[in-house]
Amino acid sequence: MAEKMTVERAKEVLAGQGFHCSQAVVMHACEVLGLDKDLLLKVSGGLGGGCFHGDICGCVSGAIMAIGAVYGYNQPYSAEQNAILVAKLTEFEKKFEAKHGSLICKDLLGGYSFAVPEEAKKIMTEGLTKNCPALVASACEILDEIILPKE
């Protein structure tokens, strides 16, 4: 069984190891699902900070990747499988937004974006990422509810 993603563990993955929020969520999903962690950490690296433009939160993007790994498809289009995928993505997004008020990184960082150099500096110097470990832990908790089999 994979280790639970707690706020403390998320702090270690983010600050201690230098991964982005998207990578922290993907790392957890890889542990839970037995996926190729090295590849998926690389692939998810550009999703942090809302793709570093303040768009969809990297925690959400990382979870979307994990949900796709479980419920996506790699054969020609299947309306039935696509409907399941969309339902699971929607479930995650609704739960995350209900808990945190937004899916948008810029909103979660007080209106600031990494894409604007002055704002990126403000994000880092004023500790506006202090809530990111809690967002990672929350995203992983919601993700586990969606991707892990019910006992």
pLDDT tens digit string along 41-55?
999 999 999 999 999
Q: Quick check: 89 pLDDT over 70?
A: yes
Instruction: Please name the residue that has the structure tokens 């922290």.
Output: 24
Q: What percent of the chain has pLDDT over 70?
A: 99
Q: Could you give the 3-state DSSP secondary structure of residue 54? A: helix
Closest CA to 140 of 62, 77, 68, 85: 62
pLDDT band at residue 83 under the 50/70/90 scheme: very high
Q: 64, 124 in Cβ contact below 8 A? A: no
The overall average pLDDT reported for the chain is 95
Long-range contacts made by residues 105-108, C-beta under 8 angstroms, separation at least 24? 105/49, 105/50, 105/54, 105/55, 105/56, 105/57, 105/58, 106/50, 106/54, 106/55, 108/57, 108/135
User: Could you tell me the pTM of the whole model?
Assistant: 0.94
Angstrom distances, CA of residue 23 to CA of 8, 43, 66, 92, 114: 16, 9, 11, 17, 17
pLDDT of amino acid 151: 66
Per-residue confidence (pLDDT) for residue 75, from 0 to 100 = 87
Per residue in 95-143, pLDDT (tens digit) is 999 999 999 999 999 999 999 999 999 999 999 999 999 999 999 999 9
Angle at 66 between CA 62 and CA 67, to 5 degrees: 115
CA pair distance 120, 48, nearest whole angstrom: 13
Is 135 within 8 Å of 59 (Cβ atoms)? yes
